[in-house]
Amino acid sequence: MPWWIERTRRLRRHLGRLEVWELERFGRSGLSVVSRQSVLVLATTGRRSGQTRKTPVTYLPYEGGFLIGGGAGGQRATPDWVYNLRAGGPTRVTVNRVAHEVTIDEPTGAARDRAMATMLAAHPSISRYEQWGDRPLPLFVLRPT
């Protein structure tokens, strides 16, 4: 794993707040335009604090919902939002300035293999995230309710 990824966590947290603001205000962010990726705002309830946490996350349209992965750029630490999703609190996504309440599905087995194949087809570099982070990439399918 590149050494600098772990050291940029604080910077990425501040830039994430700016990106959330851009996504909620304009439906796109400067980073999503430059990287040519679709990004949504994931709003979870903190499993310990109970506060709403908003995070920009790259997504793919998938089976009537949104496919997201917790690669965190190859960090060793699993992103906090993954634990918040697994805790099962209310979850909302904002896509193109439209908010949706969603149900959460973490695929396993053959369903996970299909979801991972879809993710790798769109973003081949994600395969490095599992190697760098030395952990499996958590995948979630979020479906509007």
Q: 123 exposed, middle or buried (CB, 10 Å; 0-12, 13-18, 19+)?
A: middle
- pLDDT at position 2 is 56
Q: 51 exposed, middle or buried (CB, 10 Å; 0-12, 13-18, 19+)?
A: exposed
The enclosing domain of 58 has a CATH number of: 2.30.110.10
- pLDDT at position 16 is 78
What is the helix (H) or strand (E) element at residue 139, kind and residue range? strand 139-144
Euclidean distance between CA atoms 16 and 40, whole angstroms = 12
- pLDDT at position 47 is 87
Euclidean distance between CA atoms 8 and 112, whole angstroms = 29
- Its domain, for residue 36, covers 3-144
Residue-wise pLDDT for 9-54, tens only, equals 676 776 778 888 888 888 877 676 666 778 899 999 988 888 899 9
- pLDDT at position 118 is 94
Q: The pTM is what?
A: 0.82
Euclidean distance between CA atoms 71 and 93, whole angstroms = 18
Residue with the larger pLDDT of the pair 45 and 136: 45
Q: How many domains does the chain have?
A: 1
Residue with the larger pLDDT of the pair 73 and 105: 105
The DSSP letter of residue 29 is: -
Euclidean distance between CA atoms 7 and 2, whole angstroms = 10
Residue-wise pLDDT for 84-124, tens only, equals 999 988 899 999 989 999 999 999 999 999 999 998 998 88
